[in-house]
Amino acid sequence: MSFEPDEPQLAVARGAAGRGLCPECFGRLLGRWGHGLSNPERAARLERALGGGPRPVAGTCPVCGGLFARIDTWAERARRAADGYEWHRFTCGSRWEPERLAAEEALWTELGDAWGESARAAFNRELGKRLEALTGAQGGTAGADVVFLADLEVGRVELTVAPLYVRGRYRKLDRTIPQTRWPCRRCHGRGCVRCGGTGRTYPTSVEELVGAPFVAATRAEGTRFHGMGREDIDARMLGHGRPFVLELLRPRVRSVDLVALGGSLGPEAAGRVELEEVGPAEAPDVVRVKEAAPEKSYRVGVVGSVPLGKVKEALSLAVGRTIAQRTPARVAHRRSDRVRTRRIVAAHVVDEAEGRFTVELRTEAGTYVKEWVEGDAGRTEPSLAALVGTPLRVEFLDVLEVHDGEGA
């Protein structure tokens, strides 16, 4: 407890005496000088050192307007704002009128005070302490489940609930479902004639089938699904599956067994979507998944009358060679139109029948495989069709593996 103010500090206290500052604000004038005392305790020491004087009256403080006397009310408001949510860690902050903070700094200047601590920093800290005492939760900045923002002018506490993140890999065995929820283009999800009132283009998605048990258990208000790339709707995703992070928005329940939930996808998912390597994730995992650019392996069923020797010759020419792909016509409405260069890493024929053959290939991330086979009316150069000199059509496409270095 070292708090023995010398003359420069006493001069600040003398200048502030009689202005009606509350004990919190009076003591905080020397908040960054010495240590080991609360601000009201500092105020009491200073008053004693100055030989007493009229006690300042709380509620009329020119710095805080009595805010610090009502801090329990704010803690109670915060607790009520988060009622119905499970939370163990929190962060709190406050929104102040800039004029109020500027007036405090003006007072420091006037008093020649070099040791003042701002009202906002002190309020946030004290609110955090009261909340810890009131709820048993832990304050701090890392890993907060909820964030409270006390809006001092409006008189209410805004609540932000941190999402819960789940990671895993999914296999998609169904050629009719998209990876993410796909709102109807015409009504944007409100429901219209075109979508039969459902608001959707497709009745379900990997996002919804995977999300269902997690949403039910955490009572989240919604989801965001972040896949490490995506396959076409009519392509299966096989092998060890595709890495994803599922974001559960505003969950009311946080203590759930994610692994068990990942093993209990509902009957609607049976035979359509499977999961593996389910576990907890954090926000940076979303970035990791979105920024990864792994090679992928595919199996492609191709229709076209080409002698097997000719296909093999074309594949040997294609492997290791750079191909130029202009944005495919089918995705041009949502991707910028430009030419990308990609590489076929490996390719070989695995099956052959009259008028059709099956190729397995490994490509760089972002290769449009269907277009590489068919040519996309000259937008991909050279295509397999161009190399064999015969029109080709993709009959089916499966992703065999996403080579992200973890699953395979």
Residue numbers annotated as active site: 232
CB of 391 to Zn ion, least distance (A): 36
- Beta pairing, strands 295-303 & 356-363: antiparallel
Our CB check for Zn ion shows the closer of 177 and 184 to be 184
Element (H, E) at 261: helix 258-262
Q: Can you give the binding site for Zn ion, defined by CB under 5 A? A: 22, 25, 61, 63-64, 184, 186-187, 192, 194-195
Q: Return left, alpha or beta for 303; rule: phi > 0 is left, psi -120 to 50 is alpha, else beta.
A: beta
Contacts of 64 (CB under 8 A, 6+ apart): 22, 24, 25, 119, 123
Give the nearest distance from C-beta 180 to Zn ion in angstroms: 17
Nearest to 329 by CA among 389, 374, 391: 374
Closest CA to 157 of 101, 221, 93: 93
Give min distance, CB of 66 to Zn ion, in A: 7
Q: How far is the CB of 8 from Zn ion (least distance, A)?
A: 22
Q: How many CA atoms lie within 13 A of 216 on its CB side?
A: 10
Minimum separation from the CB atom of position 125 to Zn ion (A)? 15
Closer Cβ to Zn ion, 103 or 350, answer by number? 103
Nearest one of 111, 128, 408 to 277, comparing CA atoms: 408
Provide the greatest CA pair distance for the chain: 106
* Exposed / middle / buried, residue 164 (Cβ in 10 Å: 0-12, 13-18, 19+): buried
Minimum CB separation of residue 62 from Zn ion in Å reads 8
The position carrying tokens 């495919």 is 328
Angle at the Cα of 241 from the Cα atoms of 237 and 244, rounded to 5 degrees: 105
Q: 179: closest CA among 406, 407, 402, 8?
A: 402
DSSP state, residue 221: S
Of 55 and 338, CB closest to Zn ion: 55
Residue 268 DSSP code: G
By beta-carbon proximity to Zn ion, the closer residue of 29 and 195 is 195
Residues 361, 298 contacting (CB under 8 angstroms): yes
Give the CA count within 13 Å in the CB-facing half-sphere of 145. 13
Which helix (DSSP H) or strand (DSSP E) does residue 91 occupy? strand 89-95
